[in-house]
Structure 1
Amino acid sequence: MDIGMLTSFFMWCTVINLGLLLLTSVMCIFCADFSFRMNHRFFSIPREAFNVVIVSFIGLFKIFVIVFNIVPYVALLIIK
């Protein structure tokens, strides 16, 4: 495995994970009621707690994407 292959790997990981982050954010913005109703069937939590959980999940996922995808990709671009 050379640096070019690792760079390509992290580039595609970043693209896929940013796409998932964008999809999740758009679903929570435009389909919040649908998402709450679907999850309320399984977990009986109030709407306010659901909003806190969703926003926390999106924030944590964004941090993971930055730390585990974007930073290694940029580091590989710098040393390439």
Structure 2
Amino acid sequence: MTQETLSAFFGWLTVLHLGLFTLSAILVLLARDWAASLHARMFGLAPADVSLTIYRWLGTYKLMIFATALGPWIALQLI
């Protein structure tokens, strides 16, 4: 596999993940109360706990995007 192929792969992977992250964040912002109440009923949690869990999930997902997609793409660009 060539450097150009890997760079293209990680570039598109980054775009895909950032798009999914942005969509998830927008949906959480628009439907926060509905999502929190739905998941609270499904799992027997308080709505505040559900909101905190979603916030942590988005933060973890963002870090994973940086570590597994954006980081390798930047490293390949610097080579």
TM-score of the aligned structures, taking structure 1 as reference length: 0.92
SS in 1 for 2:42: coil
Q: Which runs of 4+ in 1 moved over 3 A?
A: none
Q: Given that residues 36 and 48 in structure 2 are in contact (C-alpha distance below 8 angstroms), is that contact kept between their aligned partners in structure 1?
A: no
Q: Provide, for residues 19-75 of structure 1, a one-character-per-residue CA deviation record: whole Å limited to 9, x for no partner.
A: 011011101111112212332342110011111100000000000001111110011
Identity %: 27
Stretches of structure 1 that go unaligned for 5 or more consecutive residues are: none
Structure number with greater CO (CA < 8 Å, separation at least 6) is: 1
Residue in 1 aligned with 2:8?
8
Distance (Å, rounded) in 1 between the aligned partners of 2:38 and 2:77: 42
Q: How many residue pairs get matched?
A: 79
Task: Please tell me whether residue 47 in structure 1 is matched to residue 47 in structure 2.
Answer: yes
TM-score of the aligned structures, taking structure 2 as reference length: 0.93
SS in 2 for 1:45: coil
Stretches of structure 2 that go unaligned for 5 or more consecutive residues are: none
Distance (Å, rounded) in 2 between the aligned partners of 1:73 and 1:11: 6
Q: CA RMSD in A?
A: 1.0
